Amino acid sequence: MVDKRIRRVRRAVRWVLNGTLGLVWFFVFVGLGTEVGVRPLVPWRVIPALVLVVVFHVLYLRITRAILESRDPRRELIAGAVLSVAVAILGGGNAQNGWTMVAFAWLSVASVVVRVRTAFLLAIGTWAVITPITIAQMYYLIDPTDAAELAGLIVGAVVYTAVMSGLLPWTNRLWVWIWRIAEEAHDGREAGSRLAVAEERLRFARDLHDLVGHQLSAIAVKSELAVRLSGDSAASAEMAEVRGLARTALRELREAVKGYRELDLTAELASVRGVLEAAGITCHLKLPYRDAPGDTAPVFAWVVREAVTNVLRHSTATTCDITLRLTPEETILEVRNNGVRKDALKDDDGSGLTGLAERLDAVGGKLTAGADGKGEFVLRASAPSAEKPVLAARL
């Protein structure tokens, strides 16, 4: 049900964004109709302008598709900016000045993929470029010797371009923002559900090991003692068999519990990213093209979980970068956030860093954590990529 709602919001946002193209064509044809009543159309000017509007139409659809797919449409935006200015100049003036609507349509999507400050600068830049073009192209409609008409033209052009530059960008930006909020909430809910399931599996594995494992160990010890105390060879043989069964069951139980307690690094990275973004923390993952070695991947999954838990509980971070690097000698994981506090270098009671250090030590790795002096807190874990150094350490 939630997926259908997300798709519905996405569809609505696509219609709103692409609906701006309808305004472009409406303004262009209304402007052409108005110009016909004032003076004859110039084919060498109008036909190329219409062709450029068609090309812009295609570029605009590609830009909105990239926005909805969270891709960077930088090349399309640059080409669209050039086309919009060319159309505004080539189209010529008319009473409605519809050709400049192409520039405002470009601004409406360009402002979506940039920061707020950059969006303001784009709006001001569009206003500064289009206003003189509008005045120049509508100059023929007035009597240049009439100061009142000239002032009216200038004021009208300034107000018109300011309103168009100020309204369209923020309308589209608001719709895209609503859609992204809905997607982040959905992803965060799914990530939270996955983490809850993983926590329940770990709790079950821990309880199973502590309760049943303890009883099986007691049975094995008791049966061994019974073998020693019994004088009957047949009874001793039966008790020896019970002891063997108990030890086999204990070994199989530990193997099953180990499978439950191991984490998948890829799944954990996806989960913590969703949780961080749902909490309002921008998360950047920098991952290699291949997976981490099998022995270290579960340990690094625990490191990622504990590091992100600390970011959520003990920091005021707004960004968190998770980097995994694989070299021939070692695997390195860094979790860096900008929410370091004054007490970041103090002992972190209950953070689990000691347990992580022990896990890494078991595979020949090491763990460091602390502020880097630049206002960021960095947790760094490393482990040998090859098995030979680990085996040597164990021997």
pLDDT reading at 30 higher than 60: yes
Residue 232 pLDDT grade (very low, low, confident, very high; cuts 50, 70, 90): low
> Considering the entire predicted model, what is its pTM?
0.50
Which tens digits make up the pLDDT trace of 159-202? 888 888 888 778 888 878 877 777 766 666 666 666 666 666 66
**How far is Cα of residue 394 from the mean position of the Cα atoms in its chain?**
40
Tell me phi and psi for residue 18, to 5 degrees: -75, -20
- Residue of 329 and 242 predicted with greater confidence: 329
Which tens digits make up the pLDDT trace of 247-300? 776 666 665 555 555 567 777 787 788 778 777 788 888 887 666 766 678 888
Residue from 54, 68, 58 nearest 15 by CA: 68
Whether the CB-CB separation of 246 and 220 falls below 8 Å is answered with yes
Average pLDDT over residues 320-343: 82
Q: Which CATH class is domain 265-394?
A: alpha beta
* Spatial separation of the C-alpha atoms in residues 320 and 280, rounded to whole Å: 11
Which tens digits make up the pLDDT trace of 42-90? 677 778 888 898 999 999 999 888 888 777 888 888 998 898 888 888 8
Residue from 145, 143, 104 nearest 125 by CA: 104
pLDDT reading at 325 higher than 70: yes
Whether the CB-CB separation of 345 and 293 falls below 8 Å is answered with no
pLDDT reading at 102 higher than 60: yes
